[in-house]
């Protein structure tokens, strides 16, 4: 039963990784602080991955799901 759940989770994560190929993260960097005056700078970090990663996870999840389903039917 765990392999079925793992296979379904891999398929869902694979679909999400294929649909969203990047993530934009904002970070606040402190430049200086003088008394009550504080200067900060927002910096954008783009994290990207290839849709091939999502496709591989999707196909792997389907393979795990099918094999687990076959083993469940045999027993």
Residue 68 tokens, joined? 């687990």
Total count of domains within the chain: 1
CA 54 to chain CA mean position, Å: 9
Domain that holds residue 26: 2-74
pTM, whole model, 2 decimals? 0.70
User: pLDDT tens track of the chain, all 75 residues?
Assistant: 788 899 999 999 999 999 998 989 888 888 888 888 888 888 888 999 899 999 999 999 999 999 998 888 876
d(CA 52, CA 21): 10
């Amino acid at each position: 039963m765990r392999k079925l759940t793992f296979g379904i989770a891999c398929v869902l994560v694979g679909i999400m990784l294929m649909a969203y190929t990047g993530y934009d993260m904002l970070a606040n960097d402190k430049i200086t602080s003088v008394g009550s005056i504080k200067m900060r700078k927002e910096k954008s970090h783009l994290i990207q991955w290839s849709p091939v990663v999502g496709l591989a996870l999707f196909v792997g999840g389907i393979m795990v799901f099918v094999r687990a389903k076959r083993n469940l039917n045999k027993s």
